Amino acid sequence: MNMNVAERQGDCHSQLLSSHNARDLLNSVDAFLFDCDGVIWKGDTLIDGVSQTLDMLRSKGKKLVFVTNNSTKSRRQYAKKFQSLGISVSEDEIFCSSFAAAMFLKVNNFPREKKVYVIGEEGILEELQLAGFTGLGGPEDGKKTVQLKPNCLFEHDKTVGAVVVGLDQYINYYKLQYGTLCIRENLGCLFIATNQDAVGHMTDLQEWPGAGCMVAAICGSTQKEPIVVGKPSTFLMDFLQQKFQISCSKMCMVGDRLDTDVLFGKNAGCKTLLVFSGVTSHSTLHDPSNSIEPDYCTNKLSDILELLGP
Amino acid sequence: MNMNVAERQGDCHSQLLSSHNARDLLNSVDAFLFDCDGVIWKGDTLIDGVSQTLDMLRSKGKKLVFVTNNSTKSRRQYAKKFQSLGISVSEDEIFCSSFAAAMFLKVNNFPREKKVYVIGEEGILEELQLAGFTGLGGPEDGKKTVQLKPNCLFEHDKTVGAVVVGLDQYINYYKLQYGTLCIRENLGCLFIATNQDAVGHMTDLQEWPGAGCMVAAICGSTQKEPIVVGKPSTFLMDFLQQKFQISCSKMCMVGDRLDTDVLFGKNAGCKTLLVFSGVTSHSTLHDPSNSIEPDYCTNKLSDILELLGP
C-alpha cells in the first residue's frame, strides 16, 4: 500500500504545543530535563527567551536538569558557561557525557591502578580526575605526530584499561593509533563512547562533526562497538533519579534531536518535547522514515512562556 | 546443535598448499594477482623469497598483476617502490585504489569543471591529476586548523562534486569538517572510499589504522555510506580484464586478507590463495565465524617456489 507524504504525516502523533496542552504539560511534570546545544544555546549564543522561560519554570517550583551529550566540558566548566550567559545553574543540575563516562567507570568498579586513554577534550580528563581515575591523552596528544617509517615502533601503555572517545577537535593519527592499540591489544580494555551524535552546533553559525565521527573512526579501526554512556543510553537517568527522587513519568525531556534526546526521554518513560531550534526540522519529524515521535513539538523553548501568557 | 571448534574446522574447504596442488594451480592459471602489503612486503621490507618467486612465475610465462588497497601512492610511486626493493614491475601492472578512485570518476563521466576533495595522501591527488581532474585537500590540509569560536564560519568549495577518502596519516578536524560539509551540502556530491581496511602494516613492525578508520569517521558525521572502489569491490577487475584479456577463471588472487583479497577474488570468479604472512592467522581462517574460504592457503608466497622444487 502506497501512502503519500501528506497521509503519512497524519500518522505522526506529536502534538504541536498550544496554550492548552502546555498548561497540561506543566501541571503533569515536576522536572524538566533540557538538552543544551540547540535548546538553550547555539555555540556560545543563548537562544531567545531561554533565560526568562527557565526563570518562570523555577518560579513554579519545577526542578531543572541539563543533560548534554557534549563531552568537551566538565560539570564545573558547564556551570561557568551558564553563568557567562547570565543563567544561574549549579554543577549538581548538570549531567554531561564527560561526567557520565567517569561515573560509568566508577559504578563498574574500574580498577584505580589502571589508566584511561582519552580521545576527547578537557572535560573528560577533568571528570576522570574528580572521580579518582588517571587519564592519558586528550588535548595534549593533539600536538603529537607519527612517522610511518621502517623500524618505527609505536608504544602504548599496557595498563590502559579503558579508552573514552568523545568529540575531539584535535583528533589526529597518533590518537587513533593509540586508542586502537589499547582496545586491540590490552586484554579486556573497555571502549566507551560519550555519545554518537553525527554533528553538533559547535559554533553558532554551523554544524561540525560530533563525537559520532571520532567514535566511528575507532569502530572502523578496531571493528568493535562501543559502550555508549550519553543519550540515548539511559545510563545517566539512574543518577538523576537517585539524586532528585522524581519518577520518570513526572519528568519532561526537552531536546532538539530525535535519535538522542527524544529517544532518551522515551526510553526512560518521560514525557518528551521536541524543539525545532536545533538540528531537527519539521520535515525530518514528519518524514515517513522517522519512527521516533515526541509527545509535543514546538519551535523554541520560550514558546512555553508565550503560550502560558502572563 | 553445538559443534566443537575441531569439528567446525573440518568444515573449512581451503586446501593447504602442497607440491601436488601447487603444480595444479600453476598449470590452471595464466595470471597471478597479488596484494602487496602482507604478501610482497611489510612496510618497506620485502618478505623473504618474494623476488625469486616472482621471477620463477614470470619465467613460466605467467602474467603478474599487483592489486593493492593502499591509496597513499600512485601507480608511478608504486613502480618506484618495487624498483627500490629490487623488483622490476611496470606501472601498467599496478592497480592501486588511488588509481581506482580516479578511474571510477572517469568511467562515470565526472564533470571536469567540478572538483574533488581528498581526505588521503599524495597518491590520490597524483592519480586524479593524471586522469584530468582537479583535486583539493590531501596532505596540504593536514597543516590547517580550525577554531570553534563564535562567528567562525567554515567555508567550503561549492563546486566540489566528489569526496575521495583513503588512508590519511594527516587526518584532522579541518578535513573531517571539509569533507562532511561537501557531502552534506553540495547537491549530488559523491562519497568515494578507496577501501575500508580496518588496519594495515603501514610499517614493518606493527599495524596501524587503515582507510576504514577515516571512511568510518566520514560515515559517522554524514550518516551516508560510501561507494567503495578498492577490494573487495570488483570495480578494478573490469580494467584488469580489458587490459590483459584473461578470463577470471584463469586468474589466481593471492592475498593476506579474507574480507578484501580473498573476497575480491571469489566475487570475480578467480582462484584464491591466502598467505599467512600478513594480517590473517590460521585461527582466524578456521574460526566458525569466518565464512570466506580461499581455495588454497600457505604461510608465505615463496612456499610456491619451494613446493615446486628446482
Cβ-based contacts of A208 with chain B (< 8 Å)? 148, 154, 173, 177, 180
Q: Are A211 and A182 contacting, i.e. CB atoms less than 8 angstroms apart?
A: no
Cβ-based contacts of B204 with chain A (< 8 Å)? 150-151
Question: Which residues lie below 8 Å from residue B223, measured CB to CB, with a gap of 6+?
Answer: A198
Residues A260 and A55: their CA atoms lie apart, in Å, by: 26
Residue count of chain B, please give it. Answer: 310
A247-253: long-range pairs with CB below 8 Å, 24+: A250/A28, A250/A29, A250/A30, A250/A31, A251/A29, A251/A30, A251/A31, A251/A32, A251/A33, A252/A25, A252/A29, A252/A31, A252/A32, A252/A33, A253/A33, A253/A35, A253/A67
Of the candidates B146, B171, B221, the beta carbon closest to that of A199 is on B221
Interface of A with B (CB under 8 A): 43-45, 146, 148-154, 168-173, 176-177, 180-181, 196, 198-199, 202-206, 208-210, 212-223
Write the CATH number of the domain with boundaries B5-69+232-308.
3.40.50.1000
Residue A256 is labelled as binding a ligand: yes
Phi (first) and psi of residue A93, to 5 degrees: -90, 0
- Position A310 scores a pLDDT of 72
Residues B294 and B13: their CA atoms lie apart, in Å, by: 8
Computed from CA positions of residues B177, B179, B185, B191, in that sequence, does the dihedral angle turn out positive or negative?
negative
> Hey, are the CB atoms on B198 and A217 less than 8 Å from each other?
no
Question: Which of A73, A148, A204, A225 is most worth mutating to test chain B (most B CB atoms within 10 A of its CB)?
Answer: A148
Q: Would the ipTM clear 0.95, i.e. be above it?
A: no
Q: What's the pLDDT tens digit per position in B232-283?
A: 998 988 878 887 889 999 999 999 999 999 999 999 999 999 999 998 999 9
SS3 B194: coil
Computed from CA positions of residues A135, A136, A140, A142, in that sequence, does the dihedral angle turn out positive or negative?
negative
Write the CATH number of the domain with boundaries B111-228.
3.40.50.1000
Residue A204's alpha-carbon distances to A303, B177, B278, in angstroms, are 21, 15, 47
Residue A149 burial (CB < 10 Å; 0-12/13-18/19+)? exposed
- Position A238 scores a pLDDT of 82
Residue A218's alpha-carbon distances to A164, B114, B215, in angstroms, are 11, 32, 11
> Hey, are the CB atoms on B220 and A213 less than 8 Å from each other?
yes
Question: Which residues lie below 8 Å from residue B165, measured CB to CB, with a gap of 6+?
Answer: B119, B120, B179, B191, B192, B193, B194, B211, B214, B215, B218, B226
Q: Are A192 and A165 contacting, i.e. CB atoms less than 8 angstroms apart?
A: yes
> Hey, are the CB atoms on B170 and A169 less than 8 Å from each other?
no
Domain ranges of chain B: 5-69+232-308, 111-228
Q: Which of A35, A168, A197, A261 is catalytic?
A: A35
- Position B6 scores a pLDDT of 40
Cβ-based contacts of B146 with chain A (< 8 Å)? 169
Q: Does residue A238 carry a catalytic annotation?
A: no
Residue A81 is labelled as binding a ligand: no
**Gyration radius of chain B over CA positions:** 20
Residue A224's alpha-carbon distances to A168, A193, B119, in angstroms, are 19, 12, 23
The grid coordinates listed for B79 are 613502480
Residues B286 and A226: their CA atoms lie apart, in Å, by: 26
Residues A219 and A199: their CA atoms lie apart, in Å, by: 17
- What's the number of CA atoms in the CB half-sphere (13 Å) around residue B268? 28
Per-block average pLDDT, block size 10, for chain A (310 residues)? 43 89 96 96 91 97 96 97 96 96 96 98 98 97 90 93 97 98 98 95 88 98 97 87 88 95 95 95 94 97 92
**CA-CA-CA-CA dihedral for A157, A158, A164, A166, to nearest 10:** 40
Do B5-69+232-308 and B111-228 show the same overall fold?
Answer: yes
Residue A35 is labelled as binding a ligand: yes
- What's the number of CA atoms in the CB half-sphere (13 Å) around residue B194? 35
Residues A126 and A78: their CA atoms lie apart, in Å, by: 12
Sequential pLDDT tens for chain B (310 residues): 344 444 444 567 899 999 999 999 999 999 999 999 999 998 888 999 999 999 999 999 999 999 999 999 999 999 999 999 999 999 999 999 999 999 999 999 999 999 999 999 999 999 999 999 999 999 999 999 998 887 889 999 999 999 999 999 999 999 999 999 999 999 999 999 999 999 988 887 889 999 999 999 999 999 999 999 999 998 988 878 887 889 999 999 999 999 999 999 999 999 999 999 998 999 999 999 999 999 999 999 999 999 998 7
Residue A155: closest CA among chain B residues belongs to which residue?
B206
Instruction: List alpha helices for chain A, DSSP H.
Output: 5-9, 19-28, 50-59, 75-84, 97-107, 122-130, 173-185, 211-222, 235-244, 263-268, 282-286, 303-308
Q: Does residue B35 carry a catalytic annotation?
A: yes
Of the candidates B148, B151, B170, the beta carbon closest to that of A202 is on B148
Residue B310's alpha-carbon distances to A205, B52, B53, B56, B306, in angstroms, are 71, 12, 12, 10, 8
Q: What's the pLDDT tens digit per position in A80-108?
A: 999 999 999 999 999 999 999 999 999 99
Distance of CA A287 to the CA centre of its chain: 24
The letter for the amino acid at B99 is F
